[in-house]
């Protein structure tokens, strides 16, 4: 092969490659960012835009769900209209996330196929992916635990527990009390931080109880799995007793006088010893 033929062949090959790349780049795929929940379905709309001066036909768009924890309700491959230059079309898919999927961001691969409307012998494939988020619904439970005895007029403490029953973590958790029926001895707001799924954490407070059976009003601030600020106010009743009630119920015991009797006896013995010692000196 002469040098002239080699050069000519190279130029033609380069023109074909450039033409192929230009044609392939003419098609833009854009997907709506969808959010679904474990075990639930959501719709994803994908737009194919022919934004260059090329006409294409026999356009099909298939989702590759073989290696992702999603399935399709209905066909995972859609056929679109022929797209002239500047035209666009979209396909909608219904995806369902598996029940045991871990919340987070996932990439769904796709394969776009189309044919050159001018030269139908030229077929093209374009691979890509789009993002989909599996979120976690917040499911919180609350309780209050009294440390020691809760008696009116006496110092005590209690803990407000936050239980995360959801599938995703919550972050920047803080507990702020709105005192009523007790006096706070510690600060009224405690920062907890992150509580993972299927876990719990608590904030403790030192108080003096002022009335029987107060309600613990607490404002819980946190960021949910989607990093959105959330606030929840809870009212948790607790049982506080008067000292008389606590004695009658056996929660506390009456003071034992045996100790004082022993002390008194020791004092009498000491005084008697001193008297006897003085008399002996005289």
* pLDDT tens sequence across 200-236: 999 999 999 999 989 999 999 999 998 999 999 999 9
36 and 130 part of one domain:
yes
Question: 19-23, 37-41, 94-98: which has the minimum mean pLDDT?
Answer: 19-23
Averaged pLDDT for residues 50-66? 85
128 and 169 part of one domain:
no
How high is the pLDDT of residue 11? 43
Q: With bands split at pLDDT 50, 70 and 90, how would you rate the model's confidence at 257?
A: low
How high is the pLDDT of residue 8? 45
Q: Which of 117, 134, 151 is the last residue in one of the domains?
A: 134
79 and 157 part of one domain:
no
Asked whether residue 50 carries a pLDDT value surpassing 90, the answer given is no
127 and 154 part of one domain:
no
Asked whether residue 69 carries a pLDDT value surpassing 90, the answer given is yes
Rounded distance between C-alpha atoms, residue 144 and residue 174, angstroms: 15
The percent of residues in the chain predicted with pLDDT above 90, rounded, is: 46
Rounded distance between C-alpha atoms, residue 228 and residue 172, angstroms: 11
Asked whether residue 141 carries a pLDDT value surpassing 70, the answer given is yes
Tokens of 234: 């809870």
Q: With bands split at pLDDT 50, 70 and 90, how would you rate the model's confidence at 62?
A: very high
The residue ranking higher by pLDDT, 207 or 119, is 207
The percent of residues in the chain predicted with pLDDT above 70, rounded, is: 86
Domain assignment of residue 277, yes or no: no
Other Cβ atoms within 10 Å of 140 Cβ, number: 19
Q: Are strands 34-36 and 123-134 parallel, antiparallel or unpaired?
A: parallel
Query: How many domains, in total, are found in the chain?
Result: 2
Q: SS3 for 102?
A: coil
Question: 63-77, 106-120, 241-255: which has the minimum mean pLDDT?
Answer: 241-255
The residue ranking higher by pLDDT, 61 or 268, is 61
144 and 243 part of one domain:
yes
Q: Which of 134, 150, 165 is the last residue in one of the domains?
A: 134
Asked whether residue 23 carries a pLDDT value surpassing 90, the answer given is no
How high is the pLDDT of residue 261? 67
Dump the DSSP string for 50-93: E-SS--EEEEEEEE--TTSSEEESS-SEEE---B-TT-EEEEEE
Asked whether residue 128 carries a pLDDT value surpassing 70, the answer given is yes
The single-letter DSSP state of residue 241 is B
Q: Which of 107, 134, 161 is the last residue in one of the domains?
A: 134
The sign of the torsion formed by the CA atoms of 186, 188, 193, 199 equals positive
257: exposed, middle or buried (Cβ count in 10 Å: 0-12, 13-18, 19+) = exposed
Tokens of 108: 């769904």
243 and 146 part of one domain:
yes
Domain containing residue 215: 140-248
229 and 195 part of one domain:
yes
The residue ranking higher by pLDDT, 263 or 241, is 241
Domain assignment of residue 274, yes or no: no
Query: Which of 30, 27, 46, 31 is closest to 124 using CA atoms?
Result: 27
Domain assignment of residue 269, yes or no: no
182 and 121 part of one domain:
no
Asked whether residue 70 carries a pLDDT value surpassing 80, the answer given is yes
Question: 29-43, 174-188, 212-226, 232-246: which has the minimum mean pLDDT?
Answer: 29-43
How high is the pLDDT of residue 232? 95
Contact by Cβ (8 Å): 107, 128: no
Domain assignment of residue 234, yes or no: yes
125 and 75 part of one domain:
yes
Rounded distance between C-alpha atoms, residue 6 and residue 67, angstroms: 45
How high is the pLDDT of residue 15? 40
Asked whether residue 52 carries a pLDDT value surpassing 70, the answer given is no
81 and 178 part of one domain:
no
The residue ranking higher by pLDDT, 33 or 13, is 33
Domain assignment of residue 263, yes or no: no
Domain assignment of residue 187, yes or no: yes
How high is the pLDDT of residue 161? 97
Asked whether residue 259 carries a pLDDT value surpassing 70, the answer given is no
80 and 36 part of one domain:
yes
Rounded distance between C-alpha atoms, residue 21 and residue 51, angstroms: 14
Q: How many CA atoms lie within 13 A of 23 on its CB side?
A: 23
> What CATH number has the domain bearing residue 43?
2.60.40.10
Q: With bands split at pLDDT 50, 70 and 90, how would you rate the model's confidence at 10?
A: very low
155 and 110 part of one domain:
no
Rounded distance between C-alpha atoms, residue 74 and residue 62, angstroms: 12
């Amino acid at each position: 092969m002469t040098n002239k033929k080699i050069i000519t062949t190279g130029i033609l090959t380069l023109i074909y490659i450039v033409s192929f790349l230009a044609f392939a780049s003419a098609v833009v795929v854009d997907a709506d960012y969808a959010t679904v929940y474990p075990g639930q379905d959501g719709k994803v709309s994908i737009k194919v835009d022919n934004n260059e001066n090329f006409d294409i036909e026999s356009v099909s768009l298939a989702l590759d769900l073989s290696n992702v924890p999603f399935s399709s309700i209905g066909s995972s491959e859609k056929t679109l209209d022929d797209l002239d230059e500047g035209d666009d079309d979209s396909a909608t898919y219904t995806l369902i996330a598996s029940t045991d999927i871990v919340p987070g961001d996932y990439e769904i691969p796709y394969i776009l196929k189309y044919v050159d409307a001018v030269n139908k012998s030229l077929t093209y494939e374009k691979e890509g992916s789009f993002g989909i988020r599996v979120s976690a619904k917040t499911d919180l439970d609350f309780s209050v635990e009294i440390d020691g005895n809760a008696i009116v007029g006496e110092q005590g403490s209690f803990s407000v527990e936050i239980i995360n029953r959801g599938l995703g973590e919550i972050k920047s958790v803080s507990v702020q009390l709105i005192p009523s029926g007790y006096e706070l001895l510690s600060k009224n707001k405690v920062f907890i931080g992150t509580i993972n799924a299927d876990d719990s954490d608590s904030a403790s407070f030192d108080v003096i109880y002022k009335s029987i059976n107060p309600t613990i009003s607490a404002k819980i601030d946190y960021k949910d799995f989607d990093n959105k600020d959330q606030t929840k106010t809870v009212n948790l009743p607790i049982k506080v007793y008067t000292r008389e009630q606590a004695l009658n119920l056996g929660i506390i015991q009456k003071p034992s006088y045996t100790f004082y009797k022993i002390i008194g006896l020791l004092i009498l013995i000491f005084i008697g010893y001193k008297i006897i010692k003085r008399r002996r000196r005289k």
